[in-house]
Amino acid sequence: MYKIGEIIKSQDEFFKLGRTRDIDFRISSLIKLKNGICRYEDAIFDALKRDLGKSKAESYMTEIGFVLDEINFVIKNLRKWSKPKRVKTSISQIPGKSYIYREPYGKVLIMSPWNYPFQLSIAPLIGAIAGGNCAVIKPSEYSTYTSSLLKSLIEEVFESEYVKVIEGGREINQRILKEKFDYIFFTGSVEVGKIVMQAASSSLTPLTLELGGKSPCIVDRECNISTAAKKIAWGKFINSGQTCVAPDYLVIHKDVKSKFIECFKENIKKFYGDNPIKSSDYSKIINIKHFERLESYLNTGNILVGGELDVKNRKISPTLIDNISMEDNIMKEEIFGPILPIIEYEDVNEAISFIIEMPKPLALYLFTDNKSIEKKILNEVSFGGGCVNDTIIHLASSHMPFGGVGNSGIGSYHGKFSYDTFTHSKSILKKYNFFDTNLRYPPYKGKLEKIKKILK
Ligand code: NAD
């Protein structure tokens, strides 16, 4: 049984010692973390195989390699980012110099989901460490093997008053959320995001919410259909569709629909063979509850490709569904599985109206070679981020912020954006006292005109 209050208190005391403020300490912690991950590589592969049936190549690409790359990038840049940044000084404030200092928040809480259970716990931790914070990580209770591996890894690498993993279910989450943290970083569903934000509001704790939603994928008439089909099949079926930025549904120009379906089928066969649910490169559904939720979607519309189920191994073959209606649950909820509904359009305005009727998505993918269509969609549709002529990979960059907008989240991270997320910007004006105009001091008689000349 965790003594959560004591864990938080010990982190508070550790933070107040000031060791985490030292940049050398942060860099050596990141190096320790990196070495620990490398030592644990086989155990991470094993845990991800058990939780989600992920292949080693997929696990390395989307979880281990991703975070190692991020750690290296942060180590390389941290000294530069952490220096006070000199900025311009307003004329009304001279003589003086202005700076932005970045300071750690203190103790942060990282809550992560089960779909990329390693990466989505470690990537925020990299930002928290870089920012000079202590951290409590609460991984998902669904990905049990990876959660317990995270606990062993972190216990081996860090003292618990610096970084601590707390395992457990909702009851533990609720107890944790009653504690006072200095920052909360939550990744998960919209529904739980609201609970977390409500809990944070009672103590005015700042937070980031990395949520999900229905991310559309638009295929225009003018694009390379076979490449589009290949990239969409990859982005949809990696981790069996259990990816926050997976294309949730397809909006396709009617003229290219049948060619797309043919190319899509061919690519599924190339990737996973004749019987995808038997492929060792094809992941399984996290648990029976999610399996049954996904199974129920197969009762709507027309299955064009796939639809096979393997209940014992919790696998659903890559599936394409036609003839669905907006009233069907599959269009009301985030699918989060290997089922892709296909909706056709004739005019791009029709596709845009359809998408903007729904909450702002985390991602949007557009396949087109037409620059004016690209410009129109990027200007008119609000979404977290995305790709033109690809899927998913925009998030694998330390140079761009990753996060949602509206219902898909608040805030962002990765690379420098993680450092910014986990630090407070402290604005400091350093004044010289050799000159101090009397303009701001009362009495103000006769000063208004002069003030107006400066503040305009
Ligand atoms: P979830 O919201 O059910 O769980 C996320 C975390 O919240 C877990 O640690 C869980 O233990 C905890 N939790 C669950 N119910 C709770 C409750 N009632 N009170 C307090 N804590 C609770 O999400 P999930 O099912 O693990 O993940 C799937 C969702 O996450 C999808 O919506 C997906 O789009 C989203 N997601 C978003 C991102 C992103 O980067 N934006 C990444 C991955 C997943």
Please report the pLDDT score of residue 10 as a whole number: 97
Is residue 51 in contact with ligand 1, taking CB distance under 6 Å? no
358 pLDDT more than 80 = yes
Q: Which domains does the chain have, with CATH numbers?
A: 4-211+409-428 (3.40.605.10), 216-403 (3.40.309.10)
What is the rounded CA–CA span in Å between residue 211 and residue 92? 42
Ligand 1 centroid–CA 110 distance in Å is 11
Please report the pLDDT score of residue 180 as a whole number: 96
252 pLDDT more than 80 = yes
Cis amide prior to 443 (ω within 30 degrees)? yes
Instruction: Pick the range with the lowest mean pLDDT from 59-73, 207-221, 238-252, 432-446.
Output: 432-446
pLDDT digits (tens, 9 = 90+) for 115-132: 999 999 999 999 999 999
Probe residue for ligand 1, chosen from 167, 172, 184, 192 as the CB with the greatest number of ligand atoms within 8 Å: 192
Could you identify the atom of ligand 1 that is nearest to the CA of residue 140?
Answer: 9
456 pLDDT more than 90 = no
Please report the pLDDT score of residue 315 as a whole number: 98
Q: Which helix (H) or strand (E) holds 44?
A: helix 41-52
360 pLDDT more than 90 = yes
Probe residue for ligand 1, chosen from 4, 112, 140, 397 as the CB with the greatest number of ligand atoms within 8 Å: 140
- Ligand 1: which residue has its CA nearest to atom 20? 173
* b/e map 296-335, b = 16+ CB within 10 Å: ebbebbebbbbbebbeeebbbbbbbbbebeeebebbeebb
What is the rounded CA–CA span in Å between residue 318 and residue 268? 7
Give the DSSP letter string of 336-357.
-SSEEEEEEESSHHHHHHHHHT
Is residue 253 in contact with ligand 1, taking CB distance under 6 Å? no
Place of tokens 């998902």: 140
Q: How large is the average pLDDT for residues 249-259?
A: 98
Q: How large is the average pLDDT for residues 72-91?
A: 97
Task: Check: pTM over 0.85? Answer yes or no.
Answer: yes
215 pLDDT more than 90 = yes
pLDDT digits (tens, 9 = 90+) for 400-449: 999 999 999 999 999 999 999 999 999 999 999 898 989 999 999 999 99
What is the rounded CA–CA span in Å between residue 232 and residue 252? 12
Quote the percentage of the chain above a pLDDT of 90: 97
Q: How large is the average pLDDT for residues 378-396?
A: 97
Is residue 195 in contact with ligand 1, taking CB distance under 6 Å? yes
Which residues lie closer than 8 Å to 330 by C-beta, 6 or more apart?
Answer: 297, 300, 301, 321, 324, 339, 341
pLDDT digits (tens, 9 = 90+) for 291-337: 999 999 999 999 999 999 999 999 999 999 999 999 999 999 999 99
Q: How large is the average pLDDT for residues 41-53?
A: 98
1 pLDDT more than 80 = no
What is the rounded CA–CA span in Å between residue 233 and residue 224? 14
Could you identify the atom of ligand 1 that is nearest to the CA of residue 191?
Answer: 2
Could you identify the atom of ligand 1 that is nearest to the CA of residue 212?
Answer: 34
Please report the pLDDT score of residue 435 as a whole number: 87
* Partners of residue 98 on adjacent β-strands: 87, 429
pLDDT band at 2 (very low <50, low <70, confident <90, very high): confident
Is residue 210 in contact with ligand 1, taking CB distance under 6 Å? yes
What is the rounded CA–CA span in Å between residue 185 and residue 120? 10
Contact 224, 375 (CB under 8 A): no
Label the pairing between strands 85-87 and 96-104: antiparallel
Contact 381, 352 (CB under 8 A): yes
Q: What angle do CA 162, 73, 143 make, to 5 degrees?
A: 55
**How confident is the prediction for the chain on average, in pLDDT?**
97
- Ligand 1: which residue has its CA nearest to atom 30? 188
